[in-house]
């Protein structure tokens, strides 16, 4: 159980750190795009930020899935 908690904490800390660096890196980019959903559009964001955010969310969900799939062998 403690090993799972360490992996989960490492996963979330890495994801938060990546989002932080992504926000710092996308401060002064000139070209901005917005996503067009069925209901409304998002605010204009740099394309690197959109791709980086999707990569980071994929990293977080994949890490969460792998942590939850670990078998506890404390029998």
Helix, strand and coil percent figures for the chain, each rounded to 5: 60, 5, 35
User: How far, in Å, are 10, 44, 53 from residue 15 at the CA level?
Assistant: 9, 23, 10
Residues of the chain where predicted confidence (pLDDT) is lower than 50: 75
Tell me how far the alpha carbon of residue 65 is from its chain's centroid. Answer: 14
Would you list the domain boundaries of the chain? 2-68
* Cα separation, 50 vs 40, whole angstroms: 17
The pTM is what? 0.69
* Cα separation, 31 vs 9, whole angstroms: 35
pLDDT value at position 45? Answer: 78
């Amino acid at each position: 159980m403690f090993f799972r908690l360490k992996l989960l904490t490492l996963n979330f800390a890495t994801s938060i750190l990546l989002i932080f660096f992504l926000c710092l890196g996308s401060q002064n980019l000139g070209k901005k795009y917005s996503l067009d959903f069925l209901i409304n559009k998002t605010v204009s964001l740099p394309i690197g930020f959109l791709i980086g955010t999707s990569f980071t969310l994929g990293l977080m969900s994949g890490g969460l899935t792998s942590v939850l799939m670990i078998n506890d062998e404390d029998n």
